[in-house]
Structure 1
Amino acid sequence: MMRLHWSPRSPFVRKVMIVLHECGLQGQVELVRSVAVFHAAPNPAILADNPLGKIPALITEDGRKLFDSRVICEYLIERSGCPALLPGAGAGRVQMQTWQALGDGLTDILLLWRNERLRGDAASPVLLDAFRTKTLATLKALDAGAGDLLATPFGLGHAAILCALGQLDFRFAGCGWRAAFPALAHWCDALAARPSIAATAIENDDADSAEPPAFSCETK
């Protein structure tokens, strides 16, 4: 059986879990609850399988250690023979990978932004403004392309974007992104009942974790 360093709060782990469900492989993976914290010493258990100290990390039956989420997802798609999630070549593959880059990039920005916001008065105003600007620009681009997302069969790029939006809902609750970007919100809500999405919803298993006040998606 494969093993996956896993957290119910990680958006990148969620992307892998979505692929596992889509490919029918969830029963072939043991989930290992692993804590990776940006502002603390690396977790030795994770370091043993990923020298970057990050999750997700997947250990295959033959002992191969795979990371990051993009590598793991492509491995699972190829292993399962479920190419619909990632076209093999051509414009379809380029588009799906571009959407994945947007989703993963937005998730990276949100994670870094949250860490900076948690610094309170020591946070850099320049960084905070840069993160907000990039977030709004990405959401604007996704909102403009929501029709193409809706018209394209579900794939890896869709999963990455949904995970980023899930991170907004989880860590930036109250930011108002749905009202500011209604086409994107419509697309997101249209997929909410998809089994792989519903089954992998982010869960906070640390009731003591605090979040700073949310930013506003309103543009001036």
Structure 2
Amino acid sequence: MKIAYSAASPYVRKVMACAIARGLDSKIERWTVGTTDPALLAFNPLSKVPSFITDDGLTLFDSPVICEYLDSVGSAPKLFPATGPARWNALRQQALGDGIMDASQPRRREIALPQDDGRKAYIDLQRGKVIRAIDALEKEAASFGNLATIGEITVGCALGYLDFRFANEPWRPGHPQLEAWYAKAVKLPPLAETMPKG
């Protein structure tokens, strides 16, 4: 197995955290590549990381797809619950975590550009999404476990990305349950071994 890799990408972190939780990380070759590299474009028309090649040569991209593939390999406890409420809850939490990352990455790029009213409105819109998602997660954080589901892993990666790129906008104030859960979760191997760099 091989992954197109960036140590700063929260989506790559999510995939590698799943791989660690499933005991597969040592079986995955990391290929550090830029998103403008023609070699990446050759197997992912979207030219994005993470991109993943299975041992059978199948190319997968987008972190939810790659994580679900990893959940199908090996015999470790599943991160994606089977059918029923637990599955929908984990997938909903994954969507909240992905949504935080989806709103944060473009906002980071926009902040670095010259500001006008349109850009400021866009930045504020994306920041509002993050704030609302954090508020929603606070309401359920007391029920979170030890990174046992795709939802918890994704939320952990999203919070880590906020610490990494938006330390000047702390998410912890007013969110004591989420803060307490994250303080424990970040010490577990899937998050501890994938801290972002760059």
> Aligning the two structures, in what range does the TM-score lie when normalised by the shorter sequence?
over 0.9
Question: Where does residue 68 of structure 2 map in the other structure?
Answer: 74
1:137 to 128, 132, 141: 132
Q: Counterparts of 1:45-194 in structure 2 under 5 Å?
A: 45-122=39-116, 124-150=119-145, 154-194=148-188
Question: Matched residue of 2:168: which SS?
Answer: coil
In 2 relative to 1, CA 153–165 (structure 1 residues): closer, same or farther, beyond 3 Å? Answer: closer
Q: Aligned partner of 1:102: which letter? A: L
Question: Matched residue of 1:124: which SS?
Answer: helix
Q: Aligned partner of 1:52: which letter? A: L
Summarize deviations over 1:133-174 as a string: whole Å, max 9, x none. Answer: 111111100111111224x76211111111111110111012
Rounded Cα–Cα distance in structure 1 between residues aligned with 2:132 and 2:95: 14
Q: CA deviation at 1:115?
A: 1.4
Rounded Cα–Cα distance in structure 2 between residues aligned with 1:27 and 1:128: 39
2:189 to 172, 184, 195: 195
RMSD, matched Cα: 1.5
Question: Matched residue of 1:121: which SS?
Answer: coil
Between stretches 176-185 and 129-138, larger displacement belongs to 176-185
The TM-score normalised by the length of structure 1 is 0.85
The answer to whether the 8 Å contact 2:23/2:76 transfers is no
4+ runs deviating over 6 angstroms: none
Q: CA deviation at 1:60?
A: 1.3
Gaps of 5+ in 1: 37-41, 205-220
Question: Matched residue of 1:109: which SS?
Answer: helix
Gaps of 5+ in 2: none
Between stretches 92-101 and 56-65, larger displacement belongs to 56-65
Rounded Cα–Cα distance in structure 1 between residues aligned with 2:11 and 2:3: 12
Summarize deviations over 1:90-148 as a string: whole Å, max 9, x none. Answer: 11100000000000111000001111111132461211111121111111001111112
Rounded Cα–Cα distance in structure 1 between residues aligned with 2:17 and 2:174: 27
Question: Where does residue 27 of structure 1 map in the other structure?
Answer: 26
